Amino acid sequence: MTDPILPPIEEKRSYVQQMFTDIAPRYDLMNRLMTLGQDRIWRRTVIDLCNLPRYGRLLDVATGTGDIGYEALKRDLSLDVVGVDLAREMMVRGRGKVAGVSFPFATADALSLPFADNSFDAVTSGFMMRNVVDIRGAFLEQARVVKPGGRVVCLEITLPNAPVFGPLFRFYFFKVVPLIGGVITGQRQAYTYLPHSAVKFPQPPRLAEIMRSAGLRDVQYRLAMPGIAGVGTVAIHWGTR
Ligand SMILES: C[S@@+](CC[C@H](N)C(=O)[O-])C[C@H]1O[C@@H](n2cnc3c(N)ncnc32)[C@H](O)[C@@H]1O
């Protein structure tokens, strides 16, 4: 059955682009509030899992306001980081937001990355995969541009199934988050789309299979918040090209 909250597949790309353009001014604030500040910890874990060498090249796909890229550079200023996204306004908000640290942003679609094969030591994406029309296609592109031996790391929401925590989290996610999102950003629709976009998103074992089918090996994942099987609300997957 189709979810009336979600756009038709053929309109999804432009819907997503417009939605992030609209919420860009308050995107960071809303992230901090609805994740209780945990999102920073998840992004640090993403960078740990990239296994980047000094002077390594990192591509952050769907970089938004650049938090993953900034996290990498806070760790190691020798890194060469590039961020790409569909929504220019998100990157405009991200540019210059961390004193003394900067990296280039460019407009690009995750399904057609404007980079040569084997260009990066690692490729990351944070909270993007729910928003693309072709998850495997996005991983294929990431696997193409990462060097052999390089990592592809994906941070994404996962809906918990555990008996008590599952319904509690769903209440928070489906009822409370749209209310807070509406007040903070004035875009309640975007924060209604958010939980609905997670419903049909592949569960962690299935997402790992999709990554393998895109040519990545040694694919693993870890759950966070609170991070117990069936109770995690965020999954971080990683694989090696
Ligand atoms: C929830 S935000 C995440 C931003 C950032 N990665 C973070 O961790 O905060 C999702 C981002 O994905 C971008 N996006 C969605 N579909 C995309 C696509 N096909 N290609 C590139 N960016 C895309 C959106 O414009 C938005 O900035």
The verdict on residue 77 lying in a domain is: yes
Residues pairing with 81 in the sheet: 58
Q: What is the CATH number of the domain that holds 25?
A: 3.40.50.150
Atom of ligand 1 nearest to the CA of 111: 19
Angstrom distance (rounded) from CA 154 to CA 147? 17
Residue 103 alpha carbon to ligand 1 centre in Å: 17
How far does residue 78's CA lie from ligand 1's centre (Å)?
Answer: 25
Whether residue 187 lies inside any domain: the answer is no
pLDDT at 162: 86
Whole-number Å distance between alpha carbons of 209 and 147: 21
Specify the residue with its C-alpha closest to ligand 1, atom 4.
64
Pairing verdict, β 120-126 and 146-157: parallel
Q: What is the pLDDT along the chain (241 residues), one digit of tens a residue?
A: 688 899 999 999 999 999 999 999 999 999 999 998 899 999 999 999 999 999 999 999 999 999 999 999 999 999 999 999 999 999 999 999 999 999 999 999 999 999 999 999 999 999 999 999 999 999 999 999 999 999 999 999 999 988 888 999 999 999 999 999 999 999 999 999 999 999 999 999 999 999 999 999 999 999 987 766 667 799 999 999 9
User: Residue 141 falls within a domain, yes or no?
Assistant: yes
* pTM for this entry: 0.96
Quote the pLDDT of residue 79. Answer: 98
Mutate which of 20, 112, 155 for ligand 1? The one with the most ligand atoms within 8 Å of its CB, which is 20
pLDDT at 228: 67
Atom of ligand 1 nearest to the CA of 20: 25
- 20 close to ligand 1 (CB < 6 Angstrom): yes
Residue 60 Cα: closest atom of ligand 1: 6
The reported pLDDT for the residue numbered 227 is 66
> 98: domain range?
9-159+200-240
Is 106 inside any structural domain?
yes
| Residue 3, pLDDT score | 87
Residue 126 Cβ contacting ligand 1 at under 6 Å: yes
Q: Which two tokens stand for residue 168?
A: 């509690």
The answer to whether residue 108 sits within a structural domain is yes
Q: Angle, nearest 10°, between helix axes 177-185 and 27-34?
A: 150
Question: Is the CB of 192 within 6 Å of ligand 1?
Answer: no
Name the residue with tokens 């769903």. 170
- Determine the pLDDT at residue 225: 77
pLDDT at residue 222, rounded to an integer: 94
Query: Considering its fold, how many domains does the chain have in total?
Result: 1
Ligand 1 site, residue 142, Cβ cutoff 6 A: no
Structural domain contains residue 226: yes
Cα separations (Å) of 59 from 4, 24, 30, 158, 227? Answer: 34, 21, 24, 23, 26
Q: Which atom, in ligand 1's list, is nearest to the CA of 109?
A: 20
Please indicate, yes or no, if residue 236 is contained in any of the structural domains: yes
85 lines ligand 1 (CB under 6 A): yes
- Is residue 68 in a domain? yes
